Structure 1
Amino acid sequence: MGRPDKAKRAAIVQRRADAIELRLAGVDWLTIARKLAADPSINSDRIAYPQGYGCERYARGQEPPADDQLINYACRDVRAALKERAAEHDEKADELRAIENERLDKLFFVAYKQAVREGSLPAIDRALRVMERRARLLGLDTPTRTEITGRDGQPLEITTTSVDELEALIAANTEADDDE
């Protein structure tokens, strides 16, 4: 069984898109699987869905897949479709980053020329802002380490408390607030 031809690939892409749309609409896995099944005897629309689940079995006149197999097919389709969509989004984000980087190059060039030629403080500030934006866009800055300490820079002491102890502490603090 080689790679499917163009028409079969298009039908599979459509099936996956349909599976995602049904899942987003809150349809359960078995209903999705039956709606997208190739065999009209189990297809909820009583049609042979193109490149539907179990299409090879249907083409050979065999019994349709069991419910658990159908559910597995639907789950795999949704996972594959989501993975493909995530990859597309990543590619688009990379393209947008590249375009944005080109824009920043042009803006930086103008601000840098003015900053160097004239020594203009606003132009220097603008050039620095463009540089900061590029660093954020490309993740060039290393993260800042933040450390939380207790009194006098000592390590924080973390203890566990039971619900009863917590309620007693709350009650004690509430009484102290009432006394003030």
Structure 2
Amino acid sequence: MGRPDKAARAAIARRRSDAIDLRLAGVDWLTIARKLAADPAVNADGVAYPQGYGIERYRKGQEHPDDQALIHAACRDVRKALDDRRTELNHDVDEMRALEADRLDRLFLVAYRKVVRDQDLTAIDRALRVMERRARLLGLDMPTRTELAGPEGGPVQIANTTVDELAALIDLTDQADSS
């Protein structure tokens, strides 16, 4: 079994999309699997779903996959489709980040020319704002270290409490706020 042809790949992509749509609609795994099964005897609609689950067995006239195998196939399809969408989204985010960086470069150039030519303090502020935005966008700034401290700079005290003790603390806080 080699790589599926273009039509088969399109049918598989459609099946995965249908699987996600059904799952998002709250359909259980077995129902999804049966709706997208290749064998009309198993398929919930009584049709041979193109490139459906168990297609190779169906083509060979073999017994259809059992419910567990169908469920496994549906789960695998949804997981693969979500991974593909995540990859596509990450690619789109990278493209948008590059586009925004280019825009910021152009804005900076305008502000920088005004700074050099006119020595305009407002233009300096604008140039700095563009630089700050670009640094945030591209993650150029060093991370800020944040440290929690308890009273007088000492360690933070952690204690286990029951639900009743927590409710009492909340009541005390509510009473103090209303005073």
What is the TM-score with the length of structure 2 in the denominator?
Answer: 0.91
Amino acid corresponding to residue 98 of structure 2 in structure 1: A
Amino acid corresponding to residue 81 of structure 2 in structure 1: A
Map residues 162-173 of structure 1 onto 2, 5 A cutoff.
162-163=162-163, 166=165, 170=169
Amino acid corresponding to residue 107 of structure 1 in structure 2: L
Map residues 130-145 of structure 1 onto 2, 5 A cutoff.
130-145=130-145
Map residues 15-30 of structure 1 onto 2, 5 A cutoff.
15-30=15-30
Aligned to 1:75: 75
Going from structure 1 to structure 2, the CA distance change for 1:169 and 1:52 (only over 3 Å counts) comes to closer
Please state whether the residue corresponding to 1:51 is helix, strand or coil: coil
Distance, in Å, in 1 between the alignment partners of 2:107 and 2:167 is: 61
Shift of 1:77: 0.3
Shift of 1:143: 2.1
Please state whether the residue corresponding to 1:70 is helix, strand or coil: helix
Distance, in Å, in 1 between the alignment partners of 2:40 and 2:168 is: 66
> RMSD in angstroms over aligned alpha carbons?
2.2
Render the CA deviation track for 1:94-129: whole Å, top value 9, x for unaligned. Answer: 111111111111100010111122211110000011
Please state whether the residue corresponding to 1:56 is helix, strand or coil: helix
Shift of 1:162: 3.7
Distance, in Å, in 2 between the alignment partners of 1:64 and 1:172 is: 62
Render the CA deviation track for 1:19-50: whole Å, top value 9, x for unaligned. Answer: 01111111110000000000000101100001
Going from structure 1 to structure 2, the CA distance change for 1:170 and 1:108 (only over 3 Å counts) comes to closer
Aligned length: 176
Map residues 1-180 of structure 1 onto 2, 5 A cutoff.
1-163=1-163, 166=165, 170=169
Distance, in Å, in 2 between the alignment partners of 1:8 and 1:171 is: 60
Distance, in Å, in 2 between the alignment partners of 1:168 and 1:95 is: 49
Distance, in Å, in 1 between the alignment partners of 2:142 and 2:94 is: 20
Please state whether the residue corresponding to 1:129 is helix, strand or coil: helix
Unaligned 5+ residue runs, structure 2? none
Unaligned 5+ residue runs, structure 1? none
Distance, in Å, in 1 between the alignment partners of 2:166 and 2:27 is: 44
Shift of 1:167: 6.4
